[in-house]
């Protein structure tokens, strides 16, 4: 499953990975995003393997252990209750299956860190104010985006959260100097 699938970009990558015998569910609370995802999907070779459903990460509409893998990309920063969302992802993955999170992170190279923090703290809010004045996009969306990224635990804290919630063999891979990161954890057999 791809939680917070948006218009399906990451869902289609998952469909490529599971191949012709696999199935992927893309889930998102936003009907407009889902409509666009379904439209795009109809033009891909994955159209019979992918299903898009409306729902929220904090209350996944599936029984326990339904999926081999539950993944999410660039979504957890928007979710109101991060721990609840991750617990739900763990609940619906089968024992032995994996939970994966790809998300913006904090660069650790000092120069990049400074540029990134200036970008989040100054450039994005400023651009947001300009866009608001020009009435481009929903009011305050860039300011919200910057704030939610600043509030998000960094990549190591996210890895620790995966472990605290009971996942085993948790790994964290940094991408592009730490601007993004992936955490992967395994739900062990006998998970409480």
Ligand X SMILES: C[S@@+](CC[C@H](N)C(=O)[O-])C[C@H]1O[C@@H](n2cnc3c(N)ncnc32)[C@H](O)[C@@H]1O
Q: Which parts of this chain interact with ligand X (CB under 6 A)?
A: 3-6, 9-10, 28-30, 33, 56-58, 73-75, 78-79
Nearest distance, CB of residue 111 and ligand X, angstroms: 26
CB nearer to ligand X: pick between 75 and 172:
75
Given the complex with ligand X, which of 8 and 107 has the nearer CB atom? Answer: 8
State the minimum distance, in angstroms, from the CB of residue 56 to ligand X: 4
- Rounded to whole angstroms, what are the CA distances from 77 to 45, 61, 157, 174? 31, 21, 14, 17
Distance, in Å, from the CA atom of 54 to the CA atom of 141, rounded to the nearest integer, reads 22
Shortest Cβ 9–ligand X spacing (Å): 4
Q: By beta-carbon distance, which residue lies closest to ligand X? A: 6
**Can you tell me the distance from the alpha carbon of 42 to that of 74, in angstroms, rounded to the nearest whole number?**
24
**E-state strands within the chain:** 2-3, 24-28, 50-54, 67-73, 93-104, 168-175, 180-186
Nearer to ligand X, 169 or 180 (CB): 180
- Report the relative pairing of strands 168-175 and 180-186 from DSSP bridges: antiparallel
CA distance 173 to 51: 29
Min separation Cβ 152 and ligand X, Å: 12
- As measured in angstroms, the least distance from the Cβ of 161 to ligand X is 17
Tokens standing for residue 172: 């964290």
Residue 36 or 94: the one with the smaller Cβ distance to ligand X is 36
Q: Which is nearer to ligand X, 115 or 180 (by Cβ)?
A: 180
């Amino acid at each position: 499953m791809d939680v917070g699938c948006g218009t399906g970009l990451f869902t289609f990558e998952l469909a490529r990975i599971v191949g012709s015998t696999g199935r992927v569910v893309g889930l998102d609370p936003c009907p407009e995003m889902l409509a666009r995802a379904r439209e795009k999907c109809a033009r891909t070779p994955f159209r019979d393997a992918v299903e898009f459903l409306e729902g929220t990460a904090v209350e996944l509409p599936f029984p326990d252990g339904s999926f081999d893998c539950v993944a999410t990309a660039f979504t957890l920063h928007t979710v109101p209750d991060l721990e609840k969302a991750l617990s739900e992802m763990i609940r619906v993955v089968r024992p032995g299956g994996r939970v994966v999170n790809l998300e913006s992170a904090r660069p650790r190279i000092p120069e990049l860190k400074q540029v990134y923090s200036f970008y989040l703290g100054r450039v994005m809010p400023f651009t947001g104010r300009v866009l608001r004045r020009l009435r481009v996009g929903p009011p305050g969306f860039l300011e919200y985006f910057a704030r939610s990224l600043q509030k998000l635990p960094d990549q190591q804290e996210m890895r620790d959260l995966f472990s605290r919630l009971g996942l085993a063999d948790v790994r964290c891979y940094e991408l592009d100097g730490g601007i993004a990161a992936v955490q992967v954890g395994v739900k062990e057999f006998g998970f409480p």
